[in-house]
Structure 1
Amino acid sequence: MNWQRKAACLGAPPGIFHPSVPPRGDPRQALAYCRRCPVIAECAAEALRTRRGSGIVAGIWLCGDRAWPKLLREIVFGHTARKRCVKCWRIIESASSPGTCSLCGFAEIPV
């Protein structure tokens, strides 16, 4: 697991990667690490390998995305150019986006 030494979250408090479910929980602090992480694909691959099913992993809030294994595979294979909520960074399916995030309720979904 040599890749972990290059992770943006190295040294971050582990609790920030397990926030409460919205609307009480705020994942932005943890997701800020993921957004700038140079080893996000390796993180996603490790989460898939270990079948980790909770917390924030590779920029995916696992409690809010039932399709998290598919989303993590997309990150592993470099297919990450998808629209995300600007608050919780959840991937938004363009066909079903009503203008608010179904996970956190944030109303400003980027185009």
Structure 2
Amino acid sequence: MSENNENRDVFDAVADPTRRQLIRLLSEAEELPLHELTPHFQMGRTAVSKHLTILKEAGLVVDRKVGRETRFRLNASPLQEIQDWVAYYTQFWSTNMLRLKQLLEEEEE
């Protein structure tokens, strides 16, 4: 995908452990520049920057220029899509486990 593509799938964006850690770090701070994020990873600034770009394409990260540095902050609203998906399957499994429990209780009788 191109760097200007802001339609990256949020599930794709959070699939990588590095990006999940970036989300966590950004959730704990109002905003952070790249040079404060990079030491948390065993990779260079360019690699961390590429991960931030993917998060930005998914709408999970917003950046702004302050002088010569770019600061990043979390936009958690796209995570609602994941929450909705998980909630559906939570309900699915709860319903099916209740049915299983009822069947097992009927067999005991």
Normalization by structure 1: what TM-score?
0.28
Q: Tell which structure's C-alpha radius of gyration is larger.
A: 2
Normalization by structure 2: what TM-score?
0.28
Q: Which has the higher contact order (CA 8 A, sep 6+)?
A: 2
Relative to total residues, which structure has the larger helix share, 1 or 2? 2
